[in-house]
């Protein structure tokens, strides 16, 4: 069992694949180079379940206050569709009021939000969603397997390895892991075509 499943560990679960017309392996190569250059990068995402300001930041600050680590755990999915347009964000903000330029070394494509990350690595392990709980939002307190169902492909979760084991279909194969850094989640704007 991975050390990510230590009680209280924060997990941002995300399904990943081809995005903005770029295959996952190319995204990982690009993000790895960005981390090598700057020490960190931004991993883009979208959707409505994990808003940066109202969901991800409170969740992450709570984990940090408890002295617990926070990981981005990614399950690779095969996708025939190319989600997101290949437009790069020009600005980012942690609060929606104070905006800064995205560093020239970082490209965030086709995403409304981003997680500041470092330590991106390949890591094969199983994430049993039945042994996680949702710490924030309207489903706070329920098992992660209840939230991550159907079309939901992202979730803020807390590891609870002592919870009763669940059904095998609630286990997710994690293939990529990264550390999430403060300020934990960002808003993006002013998208432009790549030059």
Q: What is the pLDDT of residue 152?
A: 82
Whether residue 80 has pLDDT greater than 60 = no
Note the pLDDT tens digit of each residue in 11-46: 999 988 777 678 889 999 999 999 999 999 999 998
Expressed as residue numbers, the domain containing 149 is 3-193
pLDDT digits (tens, 9 = 90+) for 90-148: 999 999 999 999 999 999 988 999 999 999 999 999 999 999 999 998 889 989 998 88
Segment 54-83 mean pLDDT? 88
* 90-120 b/e (C-beta count within 10 Å ≥ 16 → b): eebbbeeeebeebeeebbbbbbbbbbbbeeb
pLDDT for 84 equals 60
What span, in angstroms and rounded, lies between the C-alpha atoms of 36 and 155?
28
Highest-scoring range by mean pLDDT, 90-99, 107-116, 156-165, 168-177: 90-99
**Structural domain tally of the chain?**
1
End-to-end CA distance of the chain: 44
What is the pLDDT confidence band of residue 151, given thresholds at 50, 70 and 90?
A: confident
Reading the block at residue 85, the tokens are 């347009």
């Amino acid at each position: 069992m991975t050390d990510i499943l230590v009680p209280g560990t924060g997990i941002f679960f995300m399904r990943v694949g081809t995005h903005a017309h770029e295959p996952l392996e190319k995204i990982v190569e690009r993000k790895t180079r960005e981390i090598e250059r700057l020490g960190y990068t931004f991993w883009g995402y979208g959707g409505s379940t994990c808003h940066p300001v109202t969901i991800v930041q409170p969740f992450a600050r709570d984990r940090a206050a408890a002295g617990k680590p926070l990981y981005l755990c990614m399950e690779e999915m095969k996708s025939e569709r190319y989600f997101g347009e290949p437009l790069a964000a020009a600005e980012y903000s942690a609060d929606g009021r104070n905006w800064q330029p995205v560093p020239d070394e970082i490209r965030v494509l086709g995403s409304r939000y981003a997680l500041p990350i470092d330590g991106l690595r390949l890591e094969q392990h199983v994430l049993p969603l039945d042994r996680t709980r949702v710490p924030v939002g309207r489903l706070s307190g329920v098992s992660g397997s209840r939230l991550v169902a159907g079309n939901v492909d992202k979730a803020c979760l807390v590891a609870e390895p002592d919870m009763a084991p669940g059904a095998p279909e609630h286990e997710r194969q994690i293939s990529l892991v990264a550390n999430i850094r403060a300020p934990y989640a960002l808003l993006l704007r002013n998208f432009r075509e790549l030059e």
